[in-house]
Structure 1
């Protein structure tokens, strides 16, 4: 496993943290941060219904919009495994029958990459910018992150440690796939909380979770919850973790923070394979060494 620790702004593992890796679903945390800057700037309200359906930005960010997910499509997994050219997004939505909500918005919870595709489109629509430009302007430049980029084509993954797979087309990640150094993933989460990037009121709403039940077998969560682009809740040992795990073909990443008094420590862990629990447990172990 590769890992990076940031404690009060200082990288503790510079020799192990410079690898460029896929951020997988930690991209959702970045998209949520960008969306919250739109709220901050008065361009949209969290509870305002959106053109894509009878749901709100808050419900999209918290996976409460009633949307299905394209990971449910057997054809999707087969096409990815064969190395097919990604379907256009609108074709994917048609195959999924995405306009048919699976429950009334707010009445349930279902993890949905489609919801974050709509978030990405919302960011583009309200900023008038392509997604990569909007994320740079609203997140990466303000947070001092210079080596993160949006991978759109297979060639964009050259030089990226993709774990156990030799080739992959990032077009299959419909909300966009960020790639960047492991240390910048840890720094991104650290600076999101440790700077004045977002007001405390917005950060509090980001961490207001829907609790999803009890312990998850094989994973360290005791009472997992999901906020606005964040997995958040108590883990083994009684501490609160906040961040996101991401998994794709051949690799998994976990980026989390823990707060103890005035100290903020963030950790990013990357591994070959698809064992989310093992990578999360390693993040908990590494962070526990820095908890007082």
Structure 2
């Protein structure tokens, strides 16, 4: 088995896989992890880092590719990356904790907490509940700024927006469907949830996340960056592949909505968080069960997540060996991360890729599928 060594002894890196100093050979888990990381790199992904934690606490770590195309530096096995939409699970956990404490209920309407915010063009906050925001069944249309070309990235990377501005962009559109009648991923719904956390507690959502999750779990590699465009060291640089001859370093940029998207983490911390959540350390059994009540996702996302379903800030995906695992991937600014944990929180895996293939739907799907295969292999030893 591949185990972490004492810090004073360091670690031996063999073919991109961290092998514990007391272990003469890779375990089967570590071998497969290394092979799967190399398969992702072979797609043209500049850098890959992955970590599996087994039920006995054993860590297997693999890296592949380079952290910097200009220098060919190796990918750090403990490098920071942007958490992106994985932070939605942090937000959802805090909302469910507040519900358990009686500060709010999941059946509260948005209007109850944010009067006159969700309105216009058929939007009606009196008909949308917090549960629907959490589960992406609110019907609120997404209209977040973004970049599809290198020029747009360079023009927009330091732009900042207030939550009110981003919500107003969504309210300029009619709803995608009546609340509760369908499913469509909505980042705007989680912007509203962060605002509701602040209204219910008197503190920003990131402070509640730090106090309720990051500090108790000792997630020393998980940080809220606010409007800082840079990441702490060490980290692999992030790249966006827009097409042949257009591979752009997109490492530096300000998160669109800091309360939700301005988190960085490590593969160890992300594993620790999901193990704690599914292991019942953050929510009582009834609240965790509520989080795990799922509905089918939309057809376009089902292509990316075959058989996938969505609960309250938590996705369920099938395992090839039977059963299912729980996760919430994230993608932002070149960093694409997939994760997974078994239902009892005993076995987990995280893979972070420091390049996004964004040129064609086929390449996007190939990257997603290769990373999902790594997670499946890690959870089906």
Deviation of 1:267 after TM superposition, in Å, equals: 0.8
TM-score by length of 2: 0.67
The answer for unaligned runs of 5 or more in structure 2 is 1-47, 64-76, 115-124, 240-248, 357-366
Q: How far is 1:126 from its partner? A: 1.3
Could you give the per-residue CA deviations for residues 127-165 of structure 1, whole angstroms, max 9, x where no partner exists?
211222211111122333233111222345242435223
Q: CA deviation at 1:226?
A: 0.5
**Match in the other structure for 1:42:** 102
What SS does the aligned partner of 1:90 have?
helix
User: How many pairs align?
Assistant: 284
Q: Which residue of 1 aligns with 2:207?
A: 133
- The equivalences for 1:69-88 within 5 A come to 69-71=142-144, 79-80=152-153, 82=155, 83-88=157-162
Please list, as runs of the form range in 1=range in 2, the aligned pairs for 1:279-290 lying within 5 A after superposition.
279-289=371-381
Greater RCO, CA 8 A, separation 6+: 1
Counterpart of 1:170? 254
Larger radius of gyration: 2
TM-superposition CA deviations, 1:55-78 (whole Å, max 9, x none): 11111110011111125x677987
Residue 354 of structure 2: which of 272, 278, 287 is its match? Answer: 272
The CA deviation at 1:167 is 3.3
- 1:2-21 alignment runs, 5 A limit: 2-8=49-55, 10-13=57-60, 17-21=77-81
Residue 13 of structure 1: SS of its match in structure 2? strand
Q: CA–CA distance in 2 between the matches of 1:98 and 1:226?
A: 27
In structure 2, how many angstroms separate the alpha carbons of the residues matched to 1:79 and 1:186?
A: 34
2: CA distance, partners of 1:98 / 1:257? 38
CA distance in 2: counterparts of 1:140 and 1:123, whole angstroms: 16
Structure 1 residues 33 and 98, CA, compared in 2 at 3 Å: closer, same or farther? farther
In structure 1, runs of 5+ residues without a counterpart are none
Give the superposition deviation at 1:199. 0.9
Alignment partner for residue 196 of structure 1, among 281, 293, 299? 281
Q: Distance in 2 between matches of 1:58 and 1:242?
A: 19
TM-score, with structure 1 as normaliser: 0.86
Structure 1 79/94 Cα, relative in aligned 2: closer, same or farther at 3 Å?
farther
Counterpart in 1 of 2:17? none
Name the residue aligned to 2:122: none
1:194–1:136 CA distance, 2 compared to 1 (3 A): same
Give me the CA root mean square deviation: 2.6
Indicate if the aligned counterparts of 2:184 and 2:297 stay in contact, CA closer than 8 A: no
- State yes or no: 1:116 paired with 2:190: yes
Q: Please give the alpha-carbon distance, in whole angstroms, between the structure 1 residues aligned to 2:215 and 2:83.
A: 18
* 1:23 corresponds to 2:97: no
Matches within 5 A, 1:61-76: 61-71=134-144
Q: Post-superposition shift, 1:107?
A: 0.8
When structure 1 is superposed on structure 2, of 147-156 and 57-66 the one drifting more is: 147-156
Alpha-carbon distance in 1 for matches of 2:287, 2:174: 31
